[in-house]
A and B are shown apart, each in its own frame.
Chain A
Amino acid sequence: MGRKLLLEHIDVPGIETFEVYRQKGGYRSVEKALKSMSPDEVVEEVKKSGLRGRGGAGFPTGMKWSFLAKPEGVPRYLLCNADESEPGTFKDRYLMQYLPHLLIEGMIVSSFALGTNLSYIYIRGEYLFVLEILEKAIAEAYANGFLGKNILGTGYDLDLRVSPGGGAYICGEETALIESLEGKRGNPRIKPPFPAVKGLWGCPTVVNNVESLATVVPIINMGADEYVKIGTEQSRGTKLISACGNLERPGVYEIDLGLSVEEFIYGDDWCRGIKNGKQLKALVPGGSSVPILPTHLITKTANGDTRFMSYESLSDGGFASGSMLGSGGFIAFDEDQCIVRNTWNFTRFYAHESCGQCSPCREGTAWMEKVLWRIENGEGTMEDIALLEDINKKIEGNTICPLGDAAAWPVASAIRHFREEFEWHIKHPQEAMSRNYGLLKGATV
C-alpha cells in the first residue's frame, strides 16, 4: 500500500468520534495554524504546496484563495462543496462518512486562512446519513472548543453549519450551489462576477471541494516543503480515487499522484486487475464527464509513453487521445461492456440533471439522449452519428456553466474512439436490440 495522508487512520475503530480522532493526532493543524501562523502564511503554504482543486477542474486552491476579495466590513464565506454527484465519484462520501473530523479540521484552518467567521458544508440531499454524522462531529468540535467563539483562546471565532441540497447534480456547480444555499432554485449564475467577488449573499466567497479542504490538514502538519516532494511537478501530493466498474477490487484508494495507470489497475496493492479475468476495454479515469479512453490509450499515451495518474499525464494528447484526472471517478469497462449503451446512460444522466436554464444544454442534452437511445435500440441511421457530433459541437462552450461541456465530452470521445461500435448498432438493428455489442465483438483495439 502506498502512503496515506488523508486516510491514515481510516481503519482505527471510533475514528469518527472526537476523542479517538484527537488521540490520533487530530486537530494538530488547527493548533499550529491558529497559534503560530498568520492567515496569509497559511494561504502562502497552501499556494506553495501546489494543491490543485480535487473537485474535477484542478484549479490551484491557493490561487483561488488569493483571488478572494477582502473589502472592509463585508463578511466572507467559505463553502465546502459536498454535492458530489458525478457518476463514478464517491470519494468525498467515504471521507466524510469515516473521517468527518478531518473535513472539519481542514475547514477550520481554511476558514482561518480566508478570514471567514461562518462557513458552510453544502451536502447533497442523498447523503442525509452523512449529514447526521457531520452534525454530530461538529457538535463535538463545538463542545471541545474547536468551533465557536474564541477558538483555543486565540480570539478567532468560527461557526460551521451543514446544509443539505435537494439532490441535484447541478448544485455542485459553485454558483448554483450558492443559489441553492440562499434558498433559491439551483440555477448557475452568469459569470462574471465570480464568487470570489460576489458570492453567497453577495459577499466574497470561496467554494472548495471536500477533499481539497481535507488535504489542507496534512499540508499544514507536514509543511508545504515536505508535501511537494510527493507527486509530480504539476500534480503534487496524494489523491483519492474512487475506482469502480469491472475491477477485481473496486473502492476508494489514496494514491501518490504519478502512480502509473497500469500499476493502479493491475497492481496487487490496488485494483488487482479486471474482474473474472477479462480484458480491459475502456476507461473513464475521472468521473463520467471526462473523455473515455480506448484500450490502447489507457496505459500508454499516443506517443507510447507510460500513462500516469496525474493531471498532466492523463490529459496528454488533449481530447484527441487523452482524458482528464477530473474528480477521480475511475470507471473501468471490461470487454463485455457496450459503449453505446454506456454513452446513452451518461447522456441520460446529463439530460436529467440539466437545469434547463440555457437553451443549448436544455435542448441539446435531451436531444442527444433520444438519438443515443434510438441507436442503442437499433433504430438509428448513419446520419445520426454525424448529427450527434454536430449537436455536441453546438453545446460545447456555448452554455452558461460547464454542465454542457460535461455532457458533450463523453459523447464526442465515445464516437471518436468507438465509431465502429456505433456503426455496428445501426447496421445490425435486430441484434443491437436483443444482444450486447461487447459480448458479440469483444474489445475494440
Chain B
Amino acid sequence: MVKVTIDGVEIEVEEGTTILNAARQVGGDIVPPAMCYYSKLEGSGGKCRTCLVEVAAGSEKDPRPMPKLVASCSTQVQHGMIVKNASSERVKTGRAGVTEFLLANHPLDCPICDQAGECHLQDLGFEHGKEATRYREERRTFDPIDIGDKIKLHMNRCILCYRCVYTANQITDQRVHGVMHRGSHAEISTYIEKAIDNDFSGNVIDVCPVGALTDKTFRFKSRVWFLKPMDAHRDCPTCSGKAVVWMFGNEIYRVTARKDKYGEIETIDGKTAWICNTCRFETKEVDKWNVEGPRLINRHSVISQNHYTLQNPLNNNTKNIQ
C-alpha cells in the first residue's frame, strides 16, 4: 500500500493505482474530470487532458515537484506523493484551457442533441468553461454518417476520446472502427464506411462522453430528463441482460447499460455489464423486461439537476446534489 495526499486528503491505495483512481476512492470534489479515460477499457486515457493535476511532491524518496501538469488517469501514485487538483490554480487554468479547446470546434447544438442532459462535455463546460467563445474561425464540420442501421455518428460533436475505438477493438470481434486522418482533420470512422456488424456494437453509444454516437432508435424521441430510468433485466442468451430501461408512462423509449456516476458501465458479478444489440435496440416492449424499480440516478449532469446557476467555475456547490 502506498500513501498519497490529494488536495489535503490522505489516502492509502494499492501500488500501481493511478492518481485518478485514488481520487475516485475518496470521491467528491477532489476527483478530476475525465473525458477519455474509461477504466473498463484497456489502454484508454491520457488523451483529453482534462484530468491534468499538479504533483507538488513526486514521492517520499524524491519529493521534488513534477515540472509539468500530469494526466492523473495515466500517472501512477508513489508513496508520499502530494497531488493538487481543485486546490491548484495551475490546474484550473490548464483545465479551462482544455475545455476551451474541446469546445472550440464543438457545435452549439445541445438543444437538438440527444446527449444533452447526460453529456460530460456539458458538465465540463459548465464547471470550467467561459461564458463566450474566443473562437472566431469557421468551425470544422463533417456530414453525419450511419454506422450500421442503428447508430448515428455526428463527427462534429466528437472530442476524439478514442473510447469507442477501444470498445470496438476490445468488445467486438473485428476491428472495423478507428480513427482516420490526423490533427484537426482526424475523424472517427468505420474503415471505408464499413458498418460494425456485431452483437455488441451498440456499446459504443454508451461509452461516448458526448453526442457523437447516438442511438437511432431513440433519435429525437424525447429529452432524457423527461424519462424515468428503471433498472430492469431479462433472460438474454447473448449478454447479462441487466440494463436500464428509460420509460415514459408505460412505454420504453430506450435501453442503455447501467452506468455509474463516472459514466462508466457498471461491473456486475465481476464482469463489465455490456449489453447486446438485441437488448438495446430491439427489446422495447415492457413485458419482455422484468422491471426491478426506479434507478437511483446520479445527478451529475447540469440539466438533470434542474439547477441552473450563474456560471462560475469556482462555484463547486452545484455538484453532488443528489
Report B-chain residues with C-beta under 8 Å of the C-beta of A427.
none
> How far does the alpha carbon of A352 sit from the alpha carbon of B105 in the complex, in Å?
16
- Whether B184 contacts A168 by the Cβ 8 Å rule is no
- Whether A397 contacts B69 by the Cβ 8 Å rule is yes
- Whether A360 contacts B49 by the Cβ 8 Å rule is yes
At the interface, yes or no: A94 with Cβ under 8 Å from chain B? no
At the interface, yes or no: A370 with Cβ under 8 Å from chain B? yes
Q: How many A-B contacts are there with CB distance less than 8 Å?
A: 95
> How far does the alpha carbon of A355 sit from the alpha carbon of B179 in the complex, in Å?
11
Number of B interface residues at 8 Å Cβ cutoff, please give it: 37
At the interface, yes or no: A356 with Cβ under 8 Å from chain B? yes
Number of A interface residues at 8 Å Cβ cutoff, please give it: 33
> How far does the alpha carbon of A359 sit from the alpha carbon of B124 in the complex, in Å?
14
> How far does the alpha carbon of A290 sit from the alpha carbon of B211 in the complex, in Å?
39
- 1/0 contact string of B54-84 vs chain A (CB within 8 Å): 0000000000000111010010000000000
B135 to chain A, nearest CB (A): 7
B115 to chain A, nearest CB (A): 18
Contact of B48 (CB < 8 Å), options: A351, A352, A358, A366 = A358
Whose C-beta in chain A lies nearest to the C-beta of B68? Answer: A397
> How far does the alpha carbon of A393 sit from the alpha carbon of B69 in the complex, in Å?
12
> How far does the alpha carbon of A190 sit from the alpha carbon of B36 in the complex, in Å?
13
At the interface, yes or no: B93 with Cβ under 8 Å from chain A? yes
Question: Known: A351-B184, A398-B52. Contact between A356 and B160, CB under 8 A?
Answer: yes
Question: Known: A356-B181, A359-B98, A359-B160. Contact between A367 and B47, CB under 8 A?
Answer: no
At the interface, yes or no: B183 with Cβ under 8 Å from chain A? yes
At the interface, yes or no: B104 with Cβ under 8 Å from chain A? yes
B91 to chain A, nearest CB (A): 10
Report A-chain residues with C-beta under 8 Å of the C-beta of B47.
357-359, 400
A366 to chain B, nearest CB (A): 4
Cβ < 8 Å to A, chain B residues 131-186: 134-137, 140, 159-160, 162, 178-179, 181-186
Report B-chain residues with C-beta under 8 Å of the C-beta of A398.
49, 52, 68-69, 94, 97-98
At the interface, yes or no: A331 with Cβ under 8 Å from chain B? no
- Whether B182 contacts A190 by the Cβ 8 Å rule is no
> How far does the alpha carbon of A226 sit from the alpha carbon of B181 in the complex, in Å?
49
At the interface, yes or no: A364 with Cβ under 8 Å from chain B? yes
- Whether B184 contacts A359 by the Cβ 8 Å rule is no
Report B-chain residues with C-beta under 8 Å of the C-beta of A353.
182-183
Report B-chain residues with C-beta under 8 Å of the C-beta of A393.
97
B313 to chain A, nearest CB (A): 15
Q: Which of A360, A370, A391, A398 has the most CB of B within 10 A?
A: A398
Report A-chain residues with C-beta under 8 Å of the C-beta of B45.
190
Chain A: interface secondary structure? helix
Question: Known: A367-B135, A398-B68, A398-B97. Contact between A358 and B46, CB under 8 A?
Answer: yes
> How far does the alpha carbon of A287 sit from the alpha carbon of B97 in the complex, in Å?
27
> How far does the alpha carbon of A370 sit from the alpha carbon of B45 in the complex, in Å?
28
- Whether A363 contacts B105 by the Cβ 8 Å rule is yes
A168 to chain B, nearest CB (A): 7
Report A-chain residues with C-beta under 8 Å of the C-beta of B183.
351-356, 362, 365-366
> How far does the alpha carbon of A351 sit from the alpha carbon of B182 in the complex, in Å?
9
B78 to chain A, nearest CB (A): 11
> How far does the alpha carbon of A399 sit from the alpha carbon of B46 in the complex, in Å?
9
- Whether B184 contacts A354 by the Cβ 8 Å rule is yes
At the interface, yes or no: B248 with Cβ under 8 Å from chain A? no
A217 to chain B, nearest CB (A): 35
Chain B: interface secondary structure? loop
At the interface, yes or no: B102 with Cβ under 8 Å from chain A? yes
At the interface, yes or no: B206 with Cβ under 8 Å from chain A? no
- Whether B182 contacts A170 by the Cβ 8 Å rule is yes
A156 to chain B, nearest CB (A): 36
Question: Known: A352-B183, A387-B134, A397-B69. Contact between A362 and B98, CB under 8 A?
Answer: no
> How far does the alpha carbon of A362 sit from the alpha carbon of B98 in the complex, in Å?
11
Contact of B49 (CB < 8 Å), options: A168, A371, A399 = A399
- Whether A185 contacts B178 by the Cβ 8 Å rule is yes
Whose C-beta in chain B lies nearest to the C-beta of A387? Answer: B134
> How far does the alpha carbon of A185 sit from the alpha carbon of B94 in the complex, in Å?
28
Cβ < 8 Å to B, chain A residues 367-417: 367, 370-371, 374, 387, 390-391, 393-395, 397-400
- Whether B186 contacts A362 by the Cβ 8 Å rule is yes
B191 to chain A, nearest CB (A): 12
At the interface, yes or no: B100 with Cβ under 8 Å from chain A? yes
Cβ < 8 Å to B, chain A residues 285-335: none
Cβ < 8 Å to A, chain B residues 180-234: 181-186
- Whether A394 contacts B93 by the Cβ 8 Å rule is yes
- Whether B97 contacts A362 by the Cβ 8 Å rule is no
Cβ < 8 Å to B, chain A residues 13-72: none
Whose C-beta in chain B lies nearest to the C-beta of A403? Answer: B183
Q: A356-B160, A394-B98, A394-B100 are in contact. List 4 more A-B contacts (CB 8 A).
A: A359-B48, A362-B186, A363-B105, A387-B134
Can you list 16 A-B pairs with a CB-CB distance of less than 8 A? Answer: A185-B178, A190-B46, A351-B184, A352-B183, A356-B184, A356-B185, A356-B186, A359-B102, A359-B159, A363-B102, A365-B183, A367-B135, A390-B97, A397-B68, A398-B49, A400-B71
Q: Which 4 A-B pairs have the closest CB atoms?
A: A394-B97, A356-B186, A366-B184, A363-B101
